[in-house]
Homo-oligomer: A and B are copies of this chain.
Amino acid sequence: MSNKRRVCVVITARPSYSRIKTALAAIQAHPNLELLLVVAASALLDRYGHAVRYIEDDGFPIAARVYMVLEGENPTAMAKTTGLGLLELATVFDNLKPAVVVTVADRYETLATAVAAAYMNIPLAHVQGGEVTGSIDEKVRHAVTKLADLHLVASAKAAARVIRMGEDPATVHLTGCPSIDLAAEILADPTLNFDPFVRYGGVGQVPDLAHGYLVVMQHPVTTEYELARRQVIETLYAVADCGLPVLWFWPNVDAGSDGTSGAIRTFREQAQPTHIHFFKNMAPTDFLRLLYNSRCLVGNSSVGIRECAFLGVPVVNIGTRQAGRDRAANVLDVDYERTAIQAAIRQHLAAPRPASDPLYGDGGAGARIAAVLATAPLRIEKRLAY
């Protein structure tokens, strides 16, 4: 075994990959670090974007794969998925023997990574703590913060919150979010240089994008999952009448996504929309490029709050999912209500493009994260600062 610090990063979903990709590359390139990449949960599943394929295509070797998503897409399945992940990640860590484990953001199953590392006395680094949102993510994120030994946060406000929660300031590092690194690459050359229909297929008619288009990405909100169906219907009707082509992206695995999917299927059968095209997944950089060139993003994805701040893309953010998250001037917040959604879209279309805002990073997060992982003291003992 070499003297490099063995850094085990666990990726459990497609969006998490975007939020860590440049850090993976920087870890891999760092002379004092060895990357041990674990791909698990919905990142392995075709239904949820099959992130593992992008990871392989990007050339990252995979140390272990763990299937752990339980069927049901209900809260019981979320809990059991996390339990299963905890069981198995413990075995993976026991066999890989990492010096530090990295967990990304706040999806429910990331708590499996965090608990396994904490209980096995492996220092835990948490990327993207200290932010504020709604729903179960809020609980997960701060619970992970209390289990983590190293905090790699995206914004100054996040850093302040982590410290206020009682963490040792010496363990809190303001790195920015690696997802902004990807956005920065796009911003350097933002031309839409591919045909999304040719490259990604999808279902629905093929609209002409020449005169602008909207992008929609709306996830079910876990703690209100019976409402997911009704919520997405408002968005469907709102964008159906907006006069621009719509590129709609399928939601993540989460309790309630069956509600969302069902609503979309029913809408397609009934309304027979001619200018909405549905995609299941897209390479992250292609997605950002598509976003940059869109007139507006509609939905409740955190991409609207984070990457779109840096890209300067107008966003109509629906409902409570991103409530509490710090936002730049590109975001209009509306309720699950079709006329309100339409009004906000119209307001954005009538206004000039927002400026780029470095709220969540400046493009150098990946390198900073690798540097912290290579040099920070790795300790597992901590105590509330007050």
**Chain A contact residues, CB within 8 Å of chain B:** 42, 44-47, 64-72, 74-80, 82-95, 108, 111-112, 115-116, 118-121, 132-136, 138-139, 142-147, 161, 164-166, 203, 222-223, 253, 258, 269, 323-324, 380-384, 386
From the candidates B77, B85, B269, B324, name the one contacting A67 in the complex (CB within 8 A).
B77
Interface of A, secondary structure class, is: helix
A143 touches B138 (CB 8 A): no
* Residues of chain B lying within 8 A (CB to CB) of residue A166: 142, 161, 164-165
A82 touches B71 (CB 8 A): no
B108 touches A91 (CB 8 A): no
From the candidates B45, B87, B381, name the one contacting A83 in the complex (CB within 8 A).
B87
Identical subunits present? 4
* Residues of chain B lying within 8 A (CB to CB) of residue A82: 86, 115, 119
Q: Which of A45, A71, A89, A112 has the most B CB atoms < 10 Å from its CB?
A: A71
B79 touches A120 (CB 8 A): yes
B323 touches A161 (CB 8 A): no
* A53 smallest CB distance to B (angstroms): 15
B90 touches A76 (CB 8 A): yes
A80 touches B67 (CB 8 A): yes
B65 touches A47 (CB 8 A): no
A161 touches B383 (CB 8 A): no
CB-CB under 8 A for A79 and B116, given A67-B94, A138-B384, A381-B134 = yes
Instruction: Name A112's closest neighbour in chain B (CB-CB).
Output: B83
* A323 smallest CB distance to B (angstroms): 7
A91 touches B80 (CB 8 A): yes
CB-CB under 8 A for A83 and B78, given A118-B136, A142-B384, A384-B138 = no
> Bound state CA distance, A192 and B169, in angstroms?
50
> Bound state CA distance, A322 and B75, in angstroms?
36
A323 touches B83 (CB 8 A): no
* A232 smallest CB distance to B (angstroms): 17
CB-CB under 8 A for A164 and B386, given A67-B80, A76-B67, A79-B119 = yes
* Residues of chain B lying within 8 A (CB to CB) of residue A90: 67, 76, 79-80, 83
